[in-house]
Structures are given as C-alpha cells and as structure tokens.
Chain A
C-alpha cells in the first residue's frame, strides 16, 4: 500500500480476487431476487425486495468496475463489468455459497437475505476504513443502503417468526437449513488474511461475534432459536470464494449468461 491509495503490484492479484468476491455475492443475490419480481406475496414487498436487488446489483457493478481496473494492472487488459459477469464460468465465480441457494419459499428467501445482510453490513462497515481508497469509497456508499436491507430483513424475521404458528415453523426451518452456509462468511483464507493484514480487506474472523450477537438478538425477538453450529459448508479453504460452488450456481449462470454467450459478437 502506498500513500496514493494504490496497492503494490504484488497485491493487485489478491485485490482483484477479493473484489470479485465482493462483487459476485452481490450480483448472484441480485439475480436471485430478480427471479421474484412480480411474484411477491404483496405488492409493497415486490417493490421493497426489488429495491434491495437493485442496490445489490448497483454495488456489484461498482466492485466489478474496480476489479476490471485492477485487472488491467496485472493482465494485458482489464475486463469490463459485462465480460466479468457474463463470460466467467461458475468455477471462476467467487460468491458465498449462501447467496446462490435457491429462493424456495418467502421464508427461505428472507432467511438467506437476513443472514447475508448482517454479514454484509459488518463487512462493508469494516471496509469503509480500507487503506485502498476506492474500496473505502464504494463501501461507504454501499453501507448506507445495506443498513436499510438489515432493517427490512430483520423486521420480516421478527414478523414471520412471531407471527402465526405456521410462519414460525417455516421461518425456523429456513434459518436451520441455511445455517450451514454461514461459517464460510467468517473463514478467512490466505488471500483475505494477507489483504486484511495489509489493511485492505475486512478481517472477517473478527466479524463473527458481532454477527452472532446481532443475528441472535433478532432471532430472540422473533421467538426463533439460534441454530447450533455444526459442519459449515465451504468454511475450510474450499468454498464459493475459492470457486467451489453448490449445484445451484451453474443453473443460475446458465440463465443469466445465455444471451451474451449465444451471440458473442453482439453489443447490448
């Protein structure tokens, strides 16, 4: 890191990888939320949830644009946001396993959102202090949006957890089923450890306790049980951030990338 806010060339490759991690979780979750549009339980929710999807898409684009610029420092050329989004295969995607999980019922969708939002807020909050000025600036913009995401998804967890017997049961099942994907969010691999040590990336291991506290508090208000930690998918050095995904990502990308890939000469 230099005083001009530019990383040393040796870390550029790591930063590129890290930016894809931030971008891909946003893009993949926005894609999932896009599947809901027009089919929500009530019109107000269609609007609110689409807003969240639009925020994530916007944030993902900012991360991808910067990733392309960083890539240009280490490769003959940097790819633009669309090349990065539409022409990478699943194994090159760096998103968390949690966000690629299918929408399921509204409880499943909200549980996924809730678990991610709380992590996302903490991670972005830490990144506002990144020694990479661009990362800090993007995080500062995004964190304002994500504060609202946390408020919305937490509100729904409480509403559905402490709603009817049926909604309580569905919400608990949804949280339980997704819990095994939460460990990955706090497991730093060599890339993140190096970047965190350099003051560039968020130190995710430090986020675990504040996350548990925040999530646990909402679950308690919702009369829902905090699941016990069991084996965590992707948390042992081989998960979404290393390009090892669940079966679901391939289908998501097949849909999302179909048009640009079928007409490679076209501009849209």
Chain B
C-alpha cells in the first residue's frame, strides 16, 4: 500500500502474558476502541511504528505527485489539465497533513524528508513506474487511487486519532480522484481505436504493480500481526488485495478492457476471482531501489529540496528580521 512492509521492530507477536502492565493497559484501551491521541502514553514501539507508517504514507503522496505531474503540461484538454493540477495539488495537501500527523509523534518534517532522501524510509513501490501515455493518468486514478482507498477506508478506524482523522479527509478526495481517473479511461475506451489501445496498454503495465501495492502475501508479512493488534492495520494484505481484484474486474469489463492475467477467473465456490501469481521478485527489486524510476524520482525530489533551500532559508531569515523589528518597536 502507500505504506508497505512497515517494520514494527518486533520479530514475533508477544503473548499477552509477556506484556508489561503499561503495555497491557495500552492494549486494553486499543481493544476497547479508544482512540490514542498524541499526548497519551503509548509504547515506544507503537510510536515508532506509526512514525514509520505515516511518514511512508506522506512520502508516497509527495513522490506520487511526480508521475502524474509528468502529464500536467501535456494534458490534452484544458478541463483535464485543470482537473489533474487540482488532483496533484490535493496530493500535496495529503502529504502535508500526514506529515503533521507524524509530527504529533515527535519527529520533524525536515527530519522525515532527510530520511527519505537518505534512503532510510520508503515510499510506495507503485510510484517507481513511469507514466508513458495520457492513459496512464486515467489508470493511476482508477487502479492506484482505487487500491489506496481500499487500504485507507479501514484506516479511518485505526487506533491513532490524528492518522484516522487524516484518512477520513484523504479518502473523500481519493474517491473523487478515482472517479476522475475512470472518467479519463471511459473517454479513451469510447474514443478512437488508438485511444482504446492506449488504455489497454496502460492497464497491461499498471495491473500487476497495482496488486503489489498491498504488500507481500500474508504468510510472509512478518509485522502484520503486531500492527493488527495495535489496530493500525485492520485488514490483511491478501484480504485487501482480493477485495480490490473483486471490485476492479467488473470495471475493466465495463470499459471493455482485458485484464493481463490469463489465470483470472471467477471462482463460484470461493465467491471471489482467482488470479495469477504476482512476480514478487519484481516487487522486492523495486523496493530495493531497482524499479524503472526509483533513481529519477529520488533525484527529482532531492533536487527540488536542494534548489529550494535558499528560499526556505530566506523566508526564515525574513521572519526573524520582522520579529526583531517588532520587538524593537514595542
């Protein structure tokens, strides 16, 4: 997802008997669905895990501006240009309030950005794939935002108050983005043969990376159990992935597009679609930095940050001067 394979710092789930009295008290609040707020006592591991999870999410929003921003200058109509600009702007907003939510846990935004640039923190694997045609913009809205919503709707009920509240707002906007993406694809699929081919090509390239967004299979997801107990992960990777496939296949049918998976078929007994094996090697390589755009994405972010350093310094210097003048005048 936007936060994939979040390290909880725990290699196994501790038995309740192993918890300290404070940890047990904390767990009982979680079990009673009490929202944890920034000033509340919380186990250090919970705090650190949330910082990792929320900042991964924030970084994903910010890095995610780049593949879509790639098409703002080439959007094929003024209406589409305006919609795309507004969408990417929304993502900056999501990044901003997620950074703020993480800051309530005692880490600064600058520090999080430094950690991202140093390669210490990840962002979602999906943003390391290139946007090659206009259809990719529709497909990102449809699949990537669709997958994000699938993951984030449950997070609106997560145990940490600021994150849960941020998710409520994010989800509303993401739903809008998803509809916009689908609308782009509907227009393409009802358009010329070349436009429809463009849409099919985009689906062929984005389908499998979208499924990877949900993270590794549950059996290999070593940190999930602890996150589930803390209610910062409410559904498992495989559950969410299955829901996403079930939701998306009929939409592809509606568009008249073919899913790039010969093993995809409805399983009456399970009441779900069966689908083919995901190339987990590709997933892990992308996470390690070997995706098609990892290098470019980071280079662009680092350049923007470094190029903007003098602007940020000047703004601080000016604020300090003004404050000094006001003190003198007082």
Contact = CB atoms under 8 A, between A and B. Distances in A.
A37 B65 contact: yes
B72 A164 contact: no
A216 to B, nearest CB: 20
B317 A163 contact: yes
B88 to A, nearest CB: 5
B300 interface: yes
Given A41-B308, A267-B191, A259 B76 contact: yes
Given A44-B96, A46-B92, A266-B192, A166 B310 contact: yes
B311 interface: yes
B89 A50 contact: yes
A85 B318 contact: no
A181 to B, nearest CB: 22
Contact of A47 (B74, B78, B92, B313): B92
Interface string B292-328: 0000000010011001111111110110010000000
Nearest to A33: B85
A159 B65 contact: no
Contact of A51 (B89, B95, B312): B89
A41 B307 contact: yes
Contacts, number: 141
B72 A163 contact: no
Interface stretch (A1-9, A54-62, A121-129, A193-201): A54-62
Interface residues on A, range: 35 or more
B81 interface: yes
B189 to A, nearest CB: 12
A159 B314 CA distance: 7
A43 B313 contact: no
A35 B69 CA distance: 8
Q: Which 3 A-B pairs have the closest CB atoms?
A: A41-B308, A163-B314, A167-B314
Interface of B: 62, 65-66, 69, 72-82, 85-86, 88-89, 92-93, 95-96, 99, 134, 187, 191-192, 194-195, 300, 303-304, 307-315, 317-318, 321
